A and B are shown apart, each in its own frame.
Chain A
């Protein structure tokens, strides 16, 4: 669905991406993982045209990502950030319906679609009338997801979607999201710093370091046959309660 070929990007003195080649398969869930500064967020932002490569090219559905066609391309992609990225001056319903309204959808069509998605994302329907400040962190996240799914885009991009949630809500949402991804059959790309979450949600992990691809494969592959000592180190670096025993 996405392909990056020889993409480089630098910010002042730091190199964010260094001639990166990457293929992201469609209809699968891919998690970008890696230490801080590895370039995983930069990759995600490039997929939706918030960043542009200094050199190399980014293709979406075999087409070059172009500034002139960006609006149309972006509407085929759903985008969710931490906390949902909701506009604070609009109710959840207004947030969700904004783009559809701009595109001329009828009020009924918007309400029906929002209703359907609220059910799918397990958001209580009365929450749609509230402002972001009146919603819990988990609810905000769900509204963000509903907004992203409104036009039924083939692609969903998620930047640290569960980053700001407390562990219990996060645990719950992880399970629901996995179920949702399975139901929706979309190309999902997400960035997370939590290896366990990545392994839980994604079919394919992409481990980046210093702006380069270290290894791409299933969680099992990365653990069983790491092609670099760092891959092994990174995949096993997280502490679990089992360590205490």
Chain B
């Protein structure tokens, strides 16, 4: 068992120390929403123009993951907003750009000048209705106490959302919380008068909304910028220059229309970005080759993590059954691992394993331990006492007892545990897309972002099918491995 442990540690050690990226490839990241992916594609397009080999790790699961990945050099560039940078990432809410740049430089990072749009919160109305009432700014709302506000739930709850806004402008209205997409439809059919929106939402021109002027400057500034690693200036000076050249070139209306072409007209982000840059779009692979590629990725995630889990969990389960007191510690620990939220595990893994398949495999490995350890333990402790004692009393050495008596008798339970781990693993592996591990989670994430059921199903159906196949395979294995004597005994 010790040898197995050393092997596993060695594997992870090798994974940790492996160079994070090869040669001069520039890696661009983007967050899991359309605007960020488009900005990521624009940066990719610029890199290709500058003849730099580039890789876009699209729609990673959240600000934290991108920030840690940038700090650790797993990615080189990603689009961010100054508000998020100041308040969440650097926690310097009142800092000016100079202070932000200085703080970034300390971490070996830099940011471009603002791209030209401010994607902050705003309030919007149907433009016809706003014109009727003569409303142009948020202050103008004060005179119309009967206006119906329908605000997104997040905006309702944030202290710097509705509660603060209401106080700052002394607004008399009350608001109800609802889903963002429903709010747009409510405005369109007149069921609502005012909602919150992001300044660059594609829906603004589509639903003909008027964005009310924040005349008291309540909303913080969310200027779009690119964050990049300082070493990129040496590695790809032309590319950094091109990135900086984007400053001031994308205004809110431009961003709105780029968003709209992806979200409303269902064009691919890469081709929208390339079109705007005036370059050729990279060729897109067909659906079946996409599904094939993701199947390979998904199987690799599941197979490697499950294989490693077997190497560790089986010995652990045997050990737990043989040493009941330490066994309790092992069972509790693996149980605790199970309760860790996957996103938290991913963020925790970035400094160790970077982004991509490795941290996803590590997380899946941790999640697979519990069912296997627990069932191995249960299978071994469930062997009738007289059989265990007889095996000892007739003078069999402990190794023979384990391999020839105990493991075969516990096999059914152990295999059930492995099957549970494998099936759960297939489902959980879809979350790997949050950290750039690919697999079936990729189209699911994109489908959710684009509100495209077809795309979601492109990931969800193969994932469900794979889970069924895995289940069937394990049932066949179980049938083949169960000794005939046990099948006979079970029938009696």
Contact = CB atoms under 8 A, between A and B. Distances in A.
B483 interface: yes
Interface string B391-432: 111111100100011001100000000000000000000000
Given A74-B394, A91-B485, 11 more contacts: A48-B393, A79-B390, A81-B390, A85-B390, A87-B405, A88-B387, A88-B485, A88-B489, A89-B483, A89-B485, A90-B483
Interface residues of A, number: 26
A134 interface: yes
B390 A133 contact: no
Nearest to B405: A87
A81 B486 contact: no
A132 B396 CA distance: 19
B283 interface: no
Contacts of A77: 393, 395
B485 A71 contact: no
B387 to A, nearest CB: 6
Contacts of B390: 79, 81, 85, 87
Contacts of A98: 394, 396, 400, 404
B245 to A, nearest CB: 73
Interface string A50-85: 100000000000000000000110110111010001
A99 interface: yes
Interface in A113-151: 131-134, 147-148
Nearest to B409: A89
A90 B391 CA distance: 13
Contacts of A89: 408-409, 483, 485-486
Interface of A: 48-50, 71-72, 74-75, 77-79, 81, 85, 87-91, 98-99, 102, 131-134, 147-148
A87 B394 CA distance: 12
Interface residues of B, number: 24
B30 to A, nearest CB: 55
Nearest to A87: B405
Contact of A88 (B389, B394, B397, B486): B486
A133 B492 contact: yes
B483 A81 contact: no
B159 interface: no
A102 B489 contact: no
B18 to A, nearest CB: 44
